[in-house]
Structure 1
């Protein structure tokens, strides 16, 4: 019995441009633009071909299907992430900068949140980020599988905090559109049976929800890095 074969656009040599058609770089750029405009459901070979004014044939020269096209676009998202050299800035600053960069990029390209966990991150940009993470945790003093576990812990935190934020932004939109007084009253009613919680609720202080979410993200990130650093001394 043979198992399923694993396929990826990154597991074969890229095709060189054929004839006067569009280059792979142009196709990927257009795909990202289309994803920004219409999301995952709006991407199709037909629409992309129309956007390129080249027909779907040019697209199929480089990719076999929509999933392969998404792999190319997904790797472009990883290209936007920065990994400072830990030998220059230290492993903690490098990890913190990468985590904040990952969050910003996912929020900037919310369609990518739906690809995390179901789309292989095997492209050169994703590999660059993964290698940078390996380097930072090796420099910190982690060894063997602990390097992989530290990598997974950091990315799980970023994804776990950011993907729900993407979903909130998609469903709730801009909180400035909501009546602040009515929102505060709604929260007070919901927490009426929990007086200790009411003491902690001060909706007037949340003048900039995006800023507060960033503060919350940073609080958790610092706590996570403190925990990883503690493991190195035990």
Structure 2
């Protein structure tokens, strides 16, 4: 695709698809240009640099999160919707979780989410810095829950690039981890239950449990006080 027929929107959308498939390590301008049917130089002309492209792609996916209507639902339901929407988005784009450690993510998509998120906690009685603290606590919780799937996706891709049977290598790795865990009493007891296939696996509905507990604590703050 010639440079004058490319658009930044096409490039960013294609970059998101490539990142979803290959992760941060798999994104390069040559591979992206091949998907677009264009030279890498044309891609650079539109987005400036690979780092800038990652920032643009990272910002765009925030628009996938629906913003609840605060006139129609209470702050607690809205906070739950915002958190679960973020969790689902990070699950679709695990490379974004990795990018937080290397890139400063900003742009209108993230700003749209952040602004509405503050409005949610303000509706819950948090004011000023307390609204930031409440929103930040929930964001950190969501991000923590997204780390393990993102790491697993990255590991699977890396093992695949190294060659060999990915599933077998993952089984071998987990078998070694399980053998170590069996030497510790609480982990061994957990491994003996039918609910746990490996000690690193979280029980079902752990995300929902943790989010509910976090919001319960915020909702139960002392009456008459906007924060803790």
Extract unaligned runs of 5+ from structure 1. Answer: 1-17
Question: In the comparison of the two structures, how many residue pairs are matched?
Answer: 212
Partner of 2:147: 163
Query: Is contact 2:98-2:150 (8 Å) kept?
Result: no
Cα root mean square deviation, aligned: 3.3
Q: Distance in 1 between the 2:108 and 2:120 partners?
A: 18
- Aligned partners of 1:21 and 1:54 also within 8 Å: no
Residue 23 of structure 1, CA deviation: 1.0
1:121-140 aligned within 5 A: 121-140=105-124
- State the alpha-carbon separation in 2 of the partners of residues 230 and 80 from structure 1: 31
- Distance in 2, Cα, partners of 1:111 & 1:128: 21
- Find the counterpart in structure 1 of residue 212 from structure 2: 222
Q: What is the distance in 2 between the residues matched to 1:98 and 1:214?
A: 21
Query: Could you list the per-position Cα deviations for residues 120-164 of structure 1 after superposition, in whole angstroms to 9, with x for gaps in the alignment?
Result: 232111111101101101111111111111111111111112112
Describe the superposition over 1:44-84 as per-residue Cα deviations: whole angstroms up to 9, x where unpaired: 12221222112123322322211100011101221222231
1-side partners of 2:12 and 2:76: how far apart? 33
TM-score, length basis structure 2: 0.78
Instruction: Give the Cα separation in 2 of the matches to 1:98 and 1:213.
Output: 22
* Distance verdict in 2 for CA 1:21–1:143, change over 3 Å: same
Seen in structure 2, the aligned counterparts of structure 1 residues 143 and 189 have a Cα distance that, compared at 3 Å, is closer
Q: CA deviation at 1:107?
A: 1.6
Return 5+ residue gaps in structure 2 as ranges: 157-165
Q: Distance in 2 between matches of 1:43 and 1:59?
A: 13
2:195 to 202, 205, 209: 205
1:164-205 deviations in Å (ceiling 9; x for gaps): 232135447879x859xx96xx858844652x6655555423
Q: 2:39 aligns with which of 30, 55, 65?
A: 55
Task: Indicate which of 73, 81, 90 corresponds to 2:74.
Answer: 90
Q: What's 2:221 paired with?
A: 231
Change (3 A) 1:58 1:223: same
Structure-1 residue corresponding to 2:51: 67
Between the aligned partners of 2:167 and 2:220, the Cα distance in structure 1 is 39
